[in-house]
């Protein structure tokens, strides 16, 4: 999934590599790691879970990805760029605020219930709570969620400037509302909600319009 033409994973490596070549596909291994983190969360995933899913040994994992936390961040980047995280950017490109919201909510409803991958959204499931040892991961996820909300708010501000949104509408509150619904859908999906359930939720959420 999310195939990519990039061959070398490590940053800024020269064209011709010396030494013994890697025997596994780092992109595929990263996808496997993403899948496990997505399902069990950062702390719920053990190194053994990872190496078994990725089909590589511990030293290979550390050589290729640094450590558990760096691997998680790589998985998170991949999720954001090539995975469901990319629906945010797509939605923001819609011509009107209303269409942005429709696109975003429907895409999220579909994505969090997609049987091809674990239920929910990695940014929510990854580490909603954790031990103190994993606080940095939790903060990173919080930051990313806030960034998504900020981007949406800015899109609404633009819409307001364009007359696409009424003057008494608060872009901040509207963005918070929409993101709240998406995060709630992530929890619902992890609890077994179906795609039809969530699409009905989206229809109700959209009844808040016009805002």
Residues that bind DNA (CB under 7 A): 16-24, 43, 45-49, 56-60, 62-64, 67-69, 131
Q: Closer CB to DNA, residue 39 or residue 102?
A: 39
Tell me which of a second copy, DNA, none is bound by residue 184, counting a contact when its beta carbon lies within the kind-specific cut-off of 5 to 8 angstroms: a second copy
The least distance separating a second copy from the CB of residue 131, rounded to whole angstroms, comes to 4
User: For residue 22, how many other CB atoms are within 10 A of its CB?
Assistant: 17
Q: Is the peptide bond before 112 cis (omega within 30 degrees of 0)?
A: no
DSSP summary character for residue 41: -
Q: How far is the CB of 204 from a second copy (least distance, A)?
A: 4
What value, to the nearest 5°, has the Cα angle with vertex 64 and ends 34 and 66? 85
Nearer of residues 42 and 65 to a second copy, judged by Cβ: 42
Q: Which does 56 bind (CB under 5 to 8 A by kind): a second copy, DNA, none?
A: DNA
Residue 39 interacts with, from a second copy, DNA, none (CB under 5-8 Å by kind): a second copy
| Residue 60: exposure state from Cβ atoms within 10 A (0-12, 13-18, ≥19) | middle
């Amino acid at each position: 999934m999310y195939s990519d033409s990039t061959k070398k994973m490590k940053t800024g490596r020269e064209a011709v590599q010396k030494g013994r070549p890697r025997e596994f596909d780092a992109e595929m291994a990263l996808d496997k790691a993403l899948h496990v983190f997505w399902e069990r969360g950062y702390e719920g995933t053990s190194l053994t879970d990872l190496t078994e899913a990725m089909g590589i040994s511990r030293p290979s994992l550390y050589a290729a990805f640094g450590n558990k936390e760096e691997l998680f961040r790589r998985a998170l980047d991949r999720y954001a760029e090539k995975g469901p995280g990319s629906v945010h950017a797509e939605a923001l490109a819609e011509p009107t605020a209303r269409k942005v919201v429709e696109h975003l909510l429907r895409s999220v409803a579909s994505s969090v219930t997609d049987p091809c991958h674990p239920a929910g959204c990695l940014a929510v499931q990854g580490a909603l709570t954790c031990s103190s040892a994993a606080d940095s991961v939790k903060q990173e996820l919080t930051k990313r969620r806030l960034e998504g909300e900020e981007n949406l708010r800015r899109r609404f501000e633009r819409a307001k400037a364009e007359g696409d949104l009424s003057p008494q509408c608060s872009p901040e509150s509207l963005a918070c509302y929409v993101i709240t619904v998406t995060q709630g859908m992530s929890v619902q999906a992890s609890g077994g909600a179906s795609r039809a359930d969530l699409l009905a939720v989206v229809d109700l959420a959209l009844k808040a319009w016009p805002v």
